[in-house]
Amino acid sequence: MPFILDTLTTPELPSPDCPRRARIQLDLLLLAIEALDLGGSEAMLSTARDLALDGVIKGRVNLWLLRSTNPMRRYSQRRPMSINEAKALVVIISNLSRRLTVLVRQLLLGAQQLRDRQLSFDHHLRLADYLNRFRTHFRARMNPRRAGVIAYSTDERLDELALQLLEQLLLCSGVLGTQRLWSSLFDGEVV
Amino acid sequence: MTVKRQYTLPYCNLIVEGLNANANDPLSPLTVLMNAECQLPGATDASLTGGREFLDSLVAAVNHYGQQLLSGVSRPLAAPGTPPPMVDIKPGETSQQHHLVVRQQPLGSAPVDTEALPPLDIPLTTVQFYDLMEAVDQLLADTQTLPDLTARIQSVSRRLVKPAEPVAQRAAPAALGAAALAAAGLALFFVPPPEFEPTRPGQESDTPAETSGSSATGDSPLVVDPDAEGQEPETLDLAPDDAAANRDDADDDTASDSTDTNDDAADSADADAADETAATDNGSGDEDASTEVSTASTTPSLSLNDESDDDSPGTLPTQSATGSGDGLSPLEDTIAQGDRIRQLNDLLRGNIAERLEPLDADTELTYRVRLTANGDIVGYEPLNAASARWASDTPIPDLVSTFRGSPEQADFRVVLTENGVLQVSPWDGWPQ
């Protein structure tokens, strides 16, 4: 097992696999990264290689299968997500979000200013771009018939989700961000 | 030596002052905290200061709230009665707003009860909160400053999490179900229980004998229903009077039903009940075996009975011809002479023994066989399901004759044990 994963303690879960909420959360955070960064999916794979996690995330297909454990997905996989795979994804997410911190801060501050002035998000070019791309990704990949997806049927709800994910990316970009994200995945799940 | 460590982020300055562990070594870690100061430029001009208690409380509050923002799972509130923490962070009206609530001693004034003072409420945006959290995290991760202060990041236990729905909402479906059940129970309490009259094979077999005299409905003579044979042998012990009385009741009800159909609603309930009873009787009597599935389908003997009917076609017509039905009718004219009964008993045993072949039956088979005074067998009836199933393998059906030479008849009990032993005895016991 890669050394970097040892920094994350394995939670005491009733079952050995990742809980449902954790799988959804990880996939959505990766989706937000993709919407932020055009080369996001490529960056995930290269980060996995850089951190010597390619033993856990074995290439593009494997990553896709892992992300498809999200039950909201159009082509959702029934395979479980192991704790080690989840750890690897958490490390990759916080690593990428650290690289994107500056951009994330800009977008969040921009959104705050627009809200204060009661303007729509379209006035911030980069923010509108992110929101638009997130909506496109989300609608292309999520199963519109799932109850969890129906809740995000409008543009406003999706923008809210995108901004919430942006905040969460910011929160897990700090020095202890990896641990915080990892621990938050199992809130209300540990025995 | 006094050391000052500063963690600077755009929206947060965290300054920690303290003493070195080793006064002579400038590189030794800061272990004794003298003062902690937190400035939040952009959020408030006030500077939050305090000692170790303040710093610990700040770290705990940031820890909890940061995780809550990430997971969306709120931590349970502290047990009532405990003093509110010095530093607390609460969500604001919108998801982008947060409130940093601090209860601290004002600088330079006499110490007062901190709980009596209104707490300092500082609104924070998410980015400002992030800077505060990051400053705290950097302090936590810094091994040169307060090494004993470490992050205690833990997931919220399943037991502590409040369910998504309040108890009242979760209990509503169960309560609704219970209420509906109670209401239904109450409503049905006033509905009279349906009077269920199990189909009486013996009773039906009476009918042909009585039809000519008593049937008010004009029912056709009831046909023998071999499938019901042996289903309820215990009812055969019914006294003839009872059976006749029941039958009469049914007939009367049917008659009243046919005449009162246009009567008012008060009568209709009774009429319905009567109708039901009558329908049960008529149905089981009129219909052939195929509609009798309801009574016979539970036992596997149904199909076997059908086969046995095919194998020995003589059984059915014989019995129907003699009016013995699926049970035997009560004897009208019994043989009184003890000697005659003994003779008939011997005759019957001889006839059966002559033709008896080894049976595969694994239980005792018992039949009631009716003989005329001349020794002709006019009918028989198996007394349990096994007997009905194996009847066609016994010689008894072959012995049944249509000839009715004498009105005087007597019943005999024929028992074939599983060992193949034949026992024949008069139904009412040996004559004195």
Q: How far apart are CA B194 and CA B225, in angstroms?
A: 25
The burial of B414, by beta-carbon neighbours within 10 Å (0-12 exposed, 13-18 middle, 19 or more buried), is given as buried
A109, A115, A176 ranked by CB distance to B153: nearest? A176
Q: How far apart are CA B14 and CA B135, in angstroms?
A: 6
- Check residues A97 and B316 and name the one with the higher pLDDT: A97
pLDDT for position B243: 46
pLDDT in tens, B152-203: 788 888 777 766 667 778 888 899 999 999 999 999 888 888 888 777 665 5
The burial of B204, by beta-carbon neighbours within 10 Å (0-12 exposed, 13-18 middle, 19 or more buried), is given as buried
φ and ψ at residue B34, rounded to 5 degrees? -100, -45
| Residues of chain B neighbouring A108 (CB-CB closer than 8 A) | 125-127
B16, β-bridge pairs: B5, B36
Is residue B56 within 8 Å of B44, Cβ to Cβ? Answer: no
Chain A: closest CA distance from residue B89 (Å): 15
Q: How far apart are CA A5 and CA A86, in angstroms?
A: 10
A109, A112, A180 ranked by CB distance to B70: nearest? A180
Query: Are A105 and B127 in contact (CB < 8 Å)?
Result: yes
Is the CB of residue B130 less than 8 Å away from at least one CB of chain A? yes
Q: How far apart are CA A28 and CA A67, in angstroms?
A: 9
pLDDT for position A158: 93
| Residues of chain A neighbouring B158 (CB-CB closer than 8 A) | 188-191
Query: Are A180 and B73 in contact (CB < 8 Å)?
Result: no
- Check residues A29 and B430 and name the one with the higher pLDDT: A29
Gyration radius (Cα) of chain B, Å:
48
**Quick one: which of B293, B292, B320 has its CA closest to B211?**
B320
pLDDT for position B112: 54
| Residues of chain A neighbouring B133 (CB-CB closer than 8 A) | 171, 174
Is the CB of residue A168 less than 8 Å away from at least one CB of chain B? yes
pLDDT for position B219: 45
pLDDT in tens, A158-180: 999 999 999 999 999 999 999 99
Is the CB of residue A140 less than 8 Å away from at least one CB of chain B? no
Is residue B33 within 8 Å of B142, Cβ to Cβ? Answer: no
B6, β-bridge pairs: B15
pLDDT for position A111: 93
Is the CB of residue A167 less than 8 Å away from at least one CB of chain B? yes
pLDDT for position B185: 92
pLDDT for position A17: 87
Is the sign of the CA dihedral B247, B252, B255, B261 positive or negative? negative
Q: How far apart are CA A135 and CA A142, in angstroms?
A: 10
Is residue B377 within 8 Å of B409, Cβ to Cβ? Answer: no
User: Looking at chain B, how many residues does it have?
Assistant: 432
Buried b / exposed e across B158-187, counting CB within 10 Å, b at 16+?
eeebeeeeeeeeeeeeeeeeeeeeeeeeee
Is residue B352 within 8 Å of B396, Cβ to Cβ? Answer: yes
pLDDT for position B15: 93
| Residues of chain A neighbouring B157 (CB-CB closer than 8 A) | 188, 190-191
The burial of A109, by beta-carbon neighbours within 10 Å (0-12 exposed, 13-18 middle, 19 or more buried), is given as middle
B157, β-bridge pairs: A190
| Residues of chain A neighbouring B154 (CB-CB closer than 8 A) | 183
- Show the low-confidence residues of chain B (pLDDT under 50): 205-240, 242-245, 247-325
| Residues of chain A neighbouring B66 (CB-CB closer than 8 A) | 171, 180
Six-digit token string for A170: 């910011």
pLDDT for position A7: 82
Q: Provide the mean pLDDT of chain A.
A: 90
Q: Which stretches within B287-423 are classed as H helix? A: 293-296, 301-311, 315-322, 338-355, 385-390, 396-399
Provide DSSP, A39-87.
Answer: THHHHHHHHHHHTT-TTTS-HHHHHHHHHTTSTTBTT---S--BHHHHH
Buried b / exposed e across A68-92, counting CB within 10 Å, b at 16+?
bbbbbbeebbeeebebbbbbbbbbb
pLDDT for position B202: 57
> Tokens 């454990």, residue?
A69
Is the sign of the CA dihedral B70, B73, B74, B75 positive or negative? negative
> Tokens 């409130």, residue?
B99
